[in-house]
Structure 1
Amino acid sequence: MTSNADGTRTMTDAPGLLTDFLSFSLADARPVADRAGGECAHGVRYQWLGAGLLQFEPEAKPVASVVVSAGVHGDETAPIELVSRMVADIACGALPLACRLLVVLGNIGAMRAACRYLDDDLNRLFCGAHARLHGGSEKARAATLEAATARFFAQAAPADAAPRWHIDMHTAIRASVFEQFALLPHTGRAPADAMLEWLARARIAAILLHTAAGTTYTQFTAQTYEAMACTLELGKVRPFGQNDLSHFDAADRAVRSLVANVASGSATPMPRVFTVVDQITKRTDAFELALASDVPNFTVLAKGQEVARDGDYRYIVTRGDERIVFPNPSVKPGLRAGLIVVETTAETLARTPRGS
């Protein structure tokens, strides 16, 4: 490995890019010019697109275009390790590839620093939101990821001819009543049947439906490129090397079955479905959350309970079926400090226009 003037390092051992994509990325390495792309097992072509970005093309005609991302929050390490292991298995032929695949390790600077983000929450900076910032590490990274994703889908078949997917894997800061759950971005339609079935095979216990467009990575791919997109919350945040990856087997198998275009998992009950009915926003630094610091996601709230206050603002529970998800008083003013959700009945879901 040799050092470059810009501080990055060039790998003279190009296979390290594929055999340990995580270590390669954390080392701020880049392959030598003639080894940034090539062919690996089963005629699969690969191309390094920049830090934390790899694109794969199968030898046969692809059945879909899939983005698999992890590490949009740098301390959510288990999915990052799973993605790196998946890259190695594609490279050696242990995992067949049937789709066009973009692999994304999101916030590499925060991964190195073992923190959620350095300056701004990267998962609030998509759909052009980064343009409103005046600086910071995540501003540039969001623009880079948007551009790479745009190029990837620009080369894809139309969404009505070949499916487009985006699986963005995370782990949660706190415990949850439903340990593994999914969030689906707002598209104005009910989730596609294919997505619901895939989440069931992944053993996802609950689905959270957004009712307004946000600025997350999956919102960007869903609204701009018609991708079937989901954010997976797969367990608790832990440092690199301290994850029991067997705990993530069901989700890992489901992602691998998606990229290999093979059936995976037996029939399982459909996840329970919840809908966002309100958002608690931190307006000022005087914000207070009237909940225990370790309250789990999806905790049921009591009718009449005061959940948050911020100056003259109060959030009082008005229904008997409200639950809190992602309570976090430590966010910056102007950002979400919690979501209020209620369970969605099967009848309500059935009346909503279906996705493609």
Structure 2
Amino acid sequence: MNGSRLDDFLTLSRSHPWELAPFSESLPDGGQVQVWDTGVLCIEPVAPAGRDLVLSCGIHGNETAPIELCARLLNAILSGRLPCRQRLLFIFGNPAAMNLGAREVEENLNRLFSGAHARGDKTNKERQRAARLEQYVERFYRSREGTERLHYDLHTAIRPSAYEKFAIYPFTHGAPYSRNQLAFLCRAGVDTILLAHGPTTTFSYFSAHVFGAHAFTVELGKVMPFGQNDASRFAAMERNLEQLIGEPDWQPAPVDIKQIRVFRVCQEIVKQSEQFCFHFSEKVANFHAFPPGTLLAEDGERQWFAHEQEEAVVFPNVRVANQQRAALMVMATELPPEMLA
């Protein structure tokens, strides 16, 4: 697509970080590429197969590895090297934060979905962006019924992890967990799963709850600046996505569920004030375990301890805003066979 406005869609989006006028172009095989907004691009194949796939990245602007991965996939499709056989919506979430090399501009975008952007009296660009992204996902999924809906929201974590790649499985409200999706993630190198313990305002929960999508927040490693990511560390995920996009009936090979580490949330630590502090090092990795009785954090008179069995910490962040989650404490669990489908 030489000379196309889409030659570098990521650069185009970053040069228009909050809004881009819609336009469309044709793929070499006759499919249509529709740009809906900055960072939002829909691909409509000539004869789409049975999946509608959302790939989102850059919801936090400094999480660059997934951004680069999605840009590689998109460029392969636009050049004709990767045939696109599924309807596909690419979302590069927060181009303005990418330009700053920052997690966010004013507010954490991944806490603004499921209508959270409209709560309270605060207004900012990220809240407006969350509202538009909800509308684009609805437009994408509602335009076709009876398909398998997928959404992989790709991230990297602020700190290292004892298990480098892991995924958060949004709260299912009692619905079973998907064996096929667990196999997809495991074959993509994501062999650790954290089961969410309730509704949240994340992007993946929005797609799962509102549209019945198989949706996941996928952590692919540690935050690095643009150009400093080792693409080989994400090769398994990239290969799986290429097969999912390019082969109409592709399925991941089954896996033994016992190969997958599973954790459940046992407590949530919420920052209440500027007195909040952790009682462990800032360098502690995700899934670092603490023995029972360990003082984990305090905030004025409030204290949090590890309870009756070993608990591990995930996403500790003392710098979150007041009333926001500062950490999750999790413990190992198993998926009962009756909860798998």
Amino acid aligned to 2:24: G
Residues 22 and 81 of structure 1 are in contact (CA less than 8 Å); yes or no, is this contact kept in structure 2? no
Q: 1:105 maps to which residue? A: 92
The answer to whether structure 1 residue 149 and structure 2 residue 137 are counterparts is yes
Letter in 2 for 1:286: Q
1:170 corresponding residue in structure 2:
155
Looking at structure 2, the residues matched to 324 and 122 of structure 1 have their Cα atoms a distance apart, in angstroms, of 22
- 1:269-288 counterparts in 2 under 5 A? 270-288=259-277
- Matched to 2:31, the amino acid is V
Percent of pairs with identical residues: 37
Aligned-pair distance for 1:264?
7.5
Alignment correspondent of 2:27: 40
Structure 1 residue 62 displacement after superposition: 2.5
The aligned amino acid for 1:146 is: E
1:30-109 maps to which residues of 2 (within 5 A)? 36-109=23-96
2:126 is matched with which residue?
138
1:125-184: CA deviation from partner (whole Å, max 9, x where unpaired): 0000000142122111101101111111110223xxx20000000001101010011111
Name the CA distance, whole Å, in 1 between partners of 2:38 and 2:306.
Answer: 45
Deviation at 1:222, TM superposition (A): 0.2
Q: CA deviation at 1:60?
A: 1.2
Return the alpha-carbon distance in structure 1 between the equivalents of residues 141 and 338 of structure 2: 31
- Structure 2 residue runs without a partner (length 5+): none
State the match for 1:3 in structure 2: none
Match of 2:232 in 1: 246
Aligned pairs, how many? Answer: 334
Offset, 1:61: 3.3
Question: Matched residues in 2 for 1:72 and 1:181: separation?
Answer: 17
Q: Residues of 1 paired with 2:238 and 2:322: CA distance?
A: 35
Identify the residue that residue 286 of structure 2 maps to in structure 1. 297
The question of whether the paired residues in 1 share the 8 Å contact of 2:180 and 2:254 is answered with: no
- Indicate if the aligned counterparts of 1:218 and 1:229 stay in contact, CA closer than 8 A: yes
**Runs (4+) off by over 3 Å:** 29-33, 261-270
Are the counterparts in 2 of residues 179 and 205 from structure 1 also a CA contact under 8 Å?
Answer: no
User: What is the CA deviation profile of residues 163-217 of structure 1, one whole-angstrom value per residue up to 9, with x for unaligned ones?
Assistant: 0000000001101010011111101233211211111111112000001010000
TM, length-normalised to structure 2: 0.93
Q: Contact conserved, 2:20 with 2:38, CA < 8 A, in 1?
A: no
| Partner Cα distance (2:145, 2:264) in 1 | 32
Change (3 A) 1:333 1:194: same
Structure 1 CA distance for aligned equivalents of residues 331 and 20 of structure 2: 49
Query: Using a 3 Å threshold, how does the CA distance of structure 1 residues 31 and 72 change in structure 2: closer, same or farther?
Result: closer
Deviation track 1:40-78 (CA, whole Å, cap 9, x = no partner) reads 122221100010000001111322101000000000011
CA distance in 1, matches of 2:302, 2:234: 40
Aligned-partner SS, 1:278: strand
Asked if 1:308 corresponds to 2:294, the answer is no
2:223 corresponds in structure 1 to 237
8 Å CA contact retained: 1:171, 1:236: yes
Q: How many angstroms apart in 2 are the aligned matches of 1:61 and 1:116?
A: 35
Structure 2 counterpart of 1:21, one-letter code: F
The separation in 2 between residues aligned to 1:151 and 1:32, in whole angstroms, is: 17
Q: Is 2:21–2:36's contact at 8 Å kept on the other side of the alignment?
A: no
**CA RMSD in angstroms, aligned pairs only:** 1.9
SS in 1 for 2:234: helix
2:29 counterpart SS class: helix
- Residue type matched to 1:218 in 2? S
**1:320 aligned partner:** 309
Instruction: Confirm or deny that 1:186 pairs with 2:171.
Output: yes
TM-score normalised by L of structure 1: 0.89
Q: Choose 74-83 or 310-319, whichever is displaced more.
A: 310-319
Matches within 5 A, 1:116-135: 116-133=103-120, 134-135=122-123
Match of 1:343 in 2: 332
The answer to whether the Cα contact below 8 Å between 1:280 and 1:339 also exists between their aligned partners in 2 is yes
Tell me which residue corresponds to 2:318. Answer: 329
Aligned-pair CA distance for 1:247: 1.4
Decide whether the 8 Å contact of 1:14 with 1:31 is kept in 2: no
- Alignment pair present for 1:211 and 2:197: yes
